[in-house]
Amino acid sequence: DVLILDYVMPGMSGLNVLQKMYELKIDTAVIMITGAGSEYIAVEAMKLGAYDYVRKDLFDINHLPTLINSVYERYLFKKERELQDNLRKHHEQTLATAELMRNYISISTQLLNTTLAAISMIIEDTEKGLQLDLPSETQNFIKEAYSSIKESYQIISFGTKSLLELTRVIYNRLESSVHVQKDIEELDTKIKLLEEKLAV
């Protein structure tokens, strides 16, 4: 839609309406019309989001459809550009998040692998100790320690598998970001077409 505002209106001016729209974040293409030339009115109207400004005494009403189409195309161009920027930011944030998570997982996995290797050696030594000819009380103590170590080993192994699963989730997000990039490319094409129209 394109809204046409006259600067002089009952109750409030066109600038007052624009001010309210600006405060309420109402995003609509606006053409400001006034009966007399005023740089102040033109500047203020543009600051508040008007897309064009015309004087009644210099404007041919027959050109109104052309003006409306031109303003609407500029409005569409702006919306397409905003959507493109939002998609690009989302894409960049996704990649940044994935990169951070990948680094975290890489470091964590290295630490876990080191820990698992140490635990594995302890388990082997414990198993050897159980085979020695030791008093039954000592053997029971070793068996309990061995059981505790084994339990810890299983917990850490589970944690490692969970991290690997998280890695797969991150890769899936990366695949989604590829689709976002394709959307951005399609928007680029649309924007170029709009630019060509506006240049005519």
User: Could you state, in order of their start, the residue ranges of all structural domains in the chain?
Assistant: 2-59, 81-199
| In contact, 49 and 30? CB cutoff 8 Å | yes
DSSP string, 5-73: EESS-SSS-HHHHHHHHHHTT---EEEEEESS--HHHHHHHHHTT-SEEEEGGG--GGGHHHHHHHHHH
Question: Would you put residue 143 in left (φ > 0), alpha (ψ -120 to 50) or beta?
Answer: alpha
Residue with more model confidence, 4 or 133: 4
R_g (Cα) of the chain, nearest Å = 34
In the numeric block, the tokens 């624009």 are attached to 18
pLDDT of residue 195: 63
SS3 category, 189: helix
Q: Which residue, 15, 39, 18, is CA-closest to 27?
A: 18
Q: Which of 41-50, 61-70, 71-80, 103-112 has the lowest mean pLDDT?
A: 103-112
Q: Is the pLDDT confidence value at 200 over 60?
A: no
Could you tell me the pTM of the whole model?
0.53
> What average pLDDT does the segment 23-51 reach?
84
Of the pLDDT bands very low, low, confident and very high (cuts 50, 70, 90), residue 30 is very high
Q: If one looks up domain 81-199 in CATH, what number appears?
A: 1.20.58
Q: Which residue, 33, 43, 30, 32, is CA-closest to 71?
A: 30
Which CATH architecture fits 2-59? 3-Layer(aba) Sandwich (3.40)
> What average pLDDT does the segment 181-193 reach?
64
| In contact, 91 and 188? CB cutoff 8 Å | no
- Phi and psi at 69, nearest 5°, equal -60, -40
SS3 category, 1: coil
| In contact, 31 and 14? CB cutoff 8 Å | no
Percent of the chain at pLDDT > 90 equals 1
